[in-house]
Chains A and B, each alone.
Chain A
């Protein structure tokens, strides 16, 4: 008997006959669409989790990104809108860079898929303006450009909207640990600095 047959057989025997009736799930909690989007809540939550938020019109993104980067060397995904990057920035486009090359850059600039106001969470789905998961992981500074129309109110809203078969990374503030006496320390393995450029 294979392990598969053994385990499934045990589980069927464990449930016995007649099988317990499947339960009806009462979904009386706030579903997708129940809460209005409030950008101020998003900014408040992001800031509370030690991300830095910059609000500006789309036309100003390059200037803000330039200020945040302050001359750092950055990697960008191939599909990043070119007008988000300041001229003269030291940039390498990710065409399958290897780990060693990625480990030498200081920062990364990406777009985003969705953001959740209530929890201060940004979701990346590896679309062309966000790139492979690895490029937002190794560099120490992540600058994420978010359009106001990408912001939703709650977690159910975000799950309803994201591309469910893609690799998803949900980011709430920079990397952090509380393992030593529960003192929060930012930046253990992931980026230590998260900048969110929110365009209206």
Chain B
């Protein structure tokens, strides 16, 4: 019902973009589980990030207050989304930018392609961005004869390896150094054949490989982490400096932004800039954050285009329970604490949005029918909710979406997911431990619908919090 208002489907159909997998989650997960190398790489990576993140979060005395404020800002944003977007449009236009609206992936791809053509370019450099992956922009550009060059090291590894990203933050997390060396030797022109597999040597090779691209490419495409309605400022957070290169060097900058990324005021950035790096990479601050407002004469791109992307987000907004998935700031903390993600990796989820947030966001963006197994790709242990810096109640949305999935198929998938969990004692044990801990972390404040109400009843025992999930995890 929520999918039909104003006449047309809100999301681009199958075949456009990367929101749907080729097979249901249990089948893909089963294959991933048999890949021991993948599991080792993932286990190492998620454990490392968890430890780092926990340590820097412990430094912040007002973390709970920041989370509560972030949640409120996002709730407020969603309640006023149309007006805030209009305000953003006005502010960006006043500052010399041009704003475009894209109802779905097809339209967004067409807008970007036309802009690149109008600039007379046949190559664009890209800052890592979930939105452009979601819409399949690289494929659309290539089909139009335009070469997209990923400039983030991990994205470059994925692109050269003809692979797909497996994590929001560190897309090549499933590859180890030896595999990356092989990819470079195979696909990076001019790479030294005697190169070692030391990360420093591999990073230096990427630096050399991309330098000329940075200096000679006239159009760049980025995403945005935040856009301030009040001032028109856009913000991109990154580490390597490839983002700064793309945002500063070209003549034309095109930013594709999901409409949910807007925040009402400049001051709101003070909340998210504290939460995001610590929850995400486990740093006090990421090495580089760029902010710009329209165009600045004499400094940086002199043409700036902002593409505001719907592609199913309006349909997500229409569901009062599910809409909080739009609060996500793509920090990936929920992936790193998820016992299911840790064992299956990101590819199993089919969509560019993996892990717990992907399990609720992808089915909502495409319509539950197109991603019916994803709401079951979880043990409902609650670890994602405890880790999320903007307090998205992912377990409740999962349960809500299970209620919407087509019934016979849903039950079959539920059985498969349960069987799959039971089949893997370590996974089951982790789910049990985490579920117990979620209970200790306190009541959720509302029950779940049958048939899970029995589970809720025991889960919401009003016991006092003994320790937070994070403390427990650190002690583990």
Contact = CB atoms under 8 A, between A and B. Distances in A.
B176 interface: yes
A119 B281 CA distance: 14
Given A25-B73, A188-B240, A14 B288 contact: no
Given A133-B248, A190-B244, A10 B10 contact: yes
Interface in A164-190: 164-183, 185, 187-190
A187 B293 CA distance: 27
Contacts of B270: 32, 155-156, 159-160
Contacts of A2: 101
A118 B68 CA distance: 21
Contacts of B308: 7
B248 A177 contact: no
Interface residues of A, number: 74
Contacts of B317: 11, 14-15
A6 B292 CA distance: 28
Contacts of B214: 189
Interface in A1-57: 2-4, 6-16, 19-30, 32, 45, 49
A188 B207 contact: yes
A185 B203 contact: yes
Contacts of A25: 69, 72-73, 76, 268
Given A3-B101, A179-B154, A188-B153, A168 B291 contact: yes
A165 to B, nearest CB: 5
Most buried by B among A16, A25, A166, A170: A25
Contact of B287 (A9, A96, A126, A174): A174
B288 A170 contact: yes
B299 A126 contact: yes
A169 B239 contact: no
Contact of B288 (A120, A155, A175): A175
Interface stretch (B81-89, B185-193, B385-393): B81-89
Contacts, number: 260
Contacts of B48: 182
Contacts of B72: 23-26
Interface in B198-220: 199-200, 202-203, 206-207, 210-211, 214-215
Nearest to B309: A7
6 contacts: A11-B314, A14-B2, A119-B284, A167-B292, A168-B292, A175-B288
Interface of A: 2-4, 6-16, 19-30, 32, 45, 49, 96, 99-100, 103, 116, 118-121, 126, 132-134, 137, 154-156, 159-160, 164-183, 185, 187-191
Interface of B: 2, 5-6, 8, 10, 41, 44-45, 48-49, 61-62, 65-66, 68-69, 72-73, 75-76, 78-82, 85-86, 95, 100-103, 107, 151-154, 157, 170, 172-173, 176-177, 180, 199-200, 202-203, 206-207, 210-211, 214-215, 231, 233, 239-242, 244-245, 247-249, 259, 266-271, 273-274, 281, 283-293, 296, 298-300, 308, 310, 314-315, 317-318, 320
